[in-house]
Amino acid sequence: MKVFDVREKLAGSGEYILGAKETGSHACYLIYGVMGPGEKGRELKAGHGHEEIILALVGDLHLNGQQVDNRTGIEAVYVISGGHSGGGHHER
């Protein structure tokens, strides 16, 4: 079993993508995201041929279409888990 400490890869607001480069697999990926206090309008959009599930770990996130706002005065943390949907870009 391989362990990935994604939290250490990101300092401050932004996203870190744990994907094929690290895992050696194109089957799925994980995005670790941090939003600053009151940060608004971050775009969360799955790539073509992908499906994603978003989980807020810390904070009160408000999803509006493909954008998310952090409604708190603290850093918000979320993870996105994704993979290929039927007809994804690796299928023929």
Q: Report the run of H or E that residue 69 belongs to, with start and end.
A: strand 67-70
What pLDDT, in 10s, does the model give residues 18-70? 998 999 888 899 999 999 999 999 999 888 889 999 999 999 999 998 899 99
Q: For residue 87, what pLDDT band results from cuts at 50, 70 and 90?
A: low
Q: In the chain, where are the structural domains located?
A: 11-65
Report pTM.
0.82
pLDDT of residue 88: 52
Please give the Cα distance from 53 to 30 (Å, whole number): 10
For range 4-14, the mean pLDDT = 88
